[in-house]
Amino acid sequence: MKKRRIGILSGGGDCAGINSAIKWVVYSALDERRCRESGYQYEVIGIREGWKGLTGSPFDASQSTWPLDMATVRTWDRQGGTLLGTSRTNPYSPKDDQSQTVLANIEKLGLDVIVAIGGDDTQSVSYRLSQEGINVVGIPKTIDADLKGTDYTLGYETALNVIVEDIDKLRTTAGSHRRIFVVETMGRHAGWLALEGGEAAGAYIILIPEYDFSVERVNELILEGKKAGDRYEIVVVAEGAKAQGMTEVTKDERIDSFGHKTLGGIGAYLAAEIQQGTGLEARSQVLSYLQRGGAPSAYDRRMGRYFGIAAMDLIMRRRFGRMVSFTNCRFVSVPLKDVFGQLKLVDVASRYDTEKYNGRHRVIT
């Protein structure tokens, strides 16, 4: 039986569900029945720290890789984050192009295929490597849920649960002190986390990057709620949301290897504007990395399982240069070239109330 070696890595931000996907790639690859059917015997090597793990020169496989078997990954699906580690390394960065080193190290490891778990940035590297002749299969992962080509990305449901749980806790202090709480979620370009997290938590106002908001209108809505007898209000705002006439609020001037600014601070800005404009006490809370943390929800454990199995389906059929996808309630695959560079954004016309700054109030049209 011919032998094949699979490398697997996770890139970009950590989140729940990654370890489940890794486990089920390993379990599927080492399943004796599936191996007999495919005619190949597989070995799985974990690559540490995402694409960074393949950039070492000289390359030390003992430090950058982790042989994976069923015993090693047996309990991984219960754990959040990524046990392989991750990074935001871009081997094709114009400032520090390490693509040739990565290609050389892939050859040194004797990898027949790489399974890359990640979002837009990670899959952009996957595509470029596939153009260089490397066999690559992608698994969608991002809590922002903004990846084209799939209706679901690993980590999203767990992140939503964290947002709801944290807002539920904030309600007790908001009500006790009659405060307005502005909760800042992640979401650089897409407002899915803020929108659906805010809807699930019953937020009064939800602000998303796809629709610039008016501070004056926010204050009007706050005062309307106060006049109606509301003791407090919860405002949810995505980190990439912008007030009309402004750009995104950033923490500092740093830019990562994919060209992204470090966003953060819109919640504090808005809380100050609300307090000044309404005279009501307002506080901000940044959820930040809490959204990435914790054990995966049942849904992310299951989706990690299905995505991992689907990745091996593609590998065993030698269908490379593709990403597994969950679309229209079916597991399929899409070409990597169709995945990156075109983010899946909230359709404001159908999903957002631009007058009330909240989720849709009609679902049957």
CA pair distance 309, 313, nearest whole angstrom: 6
Output the CA angle 296-299-303, nearest 5 degrees. 95
**DSSP three-state, residue 183:** strand
Give 281: exposed, middle or buried? Use CB within 10 Å, 0-12, 13-18, 19+: middle
Structural tokens at position 350 = 């159908």
The angle, 0 to 180 degrees and rounded to 10, between the axes of the packed helices 18-29 and 298-316 is: 40
* Residue at 75: amino acid letter: T
Active site residues: 144
Helix (H) / strand (E) containing 6? strand 2-10
* Residue at 276: amino acid letter: Q
Cα separations in angstroms, 198 against 263, 335, 359:
20, 33, 8
